[in-house]
Amino acid sequence: MTQSIIEAAKSSRSKCGECKKKIDKGELRFGVYQERWDSYRWYHLACGAAQDREAFLEAAEKYGKLENLDQILEDAKSVGKGTKTPRVEVAPSARSSCVVCEEKIEPKGTLRGVLFREVEPDTWRKGFTHVECMTQVSDLDREVLLEQVLENSLLTDEQAEQVVDEL
């Protein structure tokens, strides 16, 4: 069981452990106790609910009535979207190369896969791939990979259909 709390921020010095943005003084925040450092790691409420839903709900119950709990849980669904891997994004340039086939990912604006890959034992690096090459570098089953990519990516409906076709 995780030690967690919800409280009003005592100052404006803490930053969210998920989005890295400042938590304003007086703003409700979610804290998860980090035994190693004997302190709490703080999150905005939605960011915390996205990190550890069970611990967040437990802390919310201890805190009492959170008037907007349903909205917080709904907002938590989009936390990290567009930043977590594996995902697909629009390539901002034509400079990156695919880690699988080593060809350039071009032209600018092409959809590219983003994932972490093991380059040495216990050493991981972010890498870019053509969307169709993602399955060759991922340990995930195609259906699981597709589900995670769609969940983590900020895509239009048309782009999402393209990803489904190419994966």
What token pair was written down for 135? 């399955």
Residue given tokens 């239009």 in the structure block = 156
Question: Residue 1 pLDDT more than 60?
Answer: no
Omega of the bond leading into 107 within 30 degrees of 0 (cis): yes
Angstrom distance (rounded) from CA 18 to CA 1: 21
33, amino acid identity: Y
**pLDDT, tens digit, 9 for 90 and up, residues 128-150:** 999 999 988 887 888 999 998 99
Q: Which residues contact 17 (CB under 8 A, 6 or more apart)?
A: 32, 41, 42, 43, 47, 51
Please say whether the beta carbons of 147 and 127 come within 8 A. no
Structure tokens at 65: 């009535």
Q: pLDDT digit string (tens) for 13-54?
A: 999 988 889 999 999 999 999 888 899 999 999 999 988 889
The domains of the chain, with CATH numbers, are: 4-76 (3.30.1740.10), 87-166 (3.30.1740.10)
Q: Model confidence over 47-59: pLDDT tens digits? A: 999 888 899 999 9
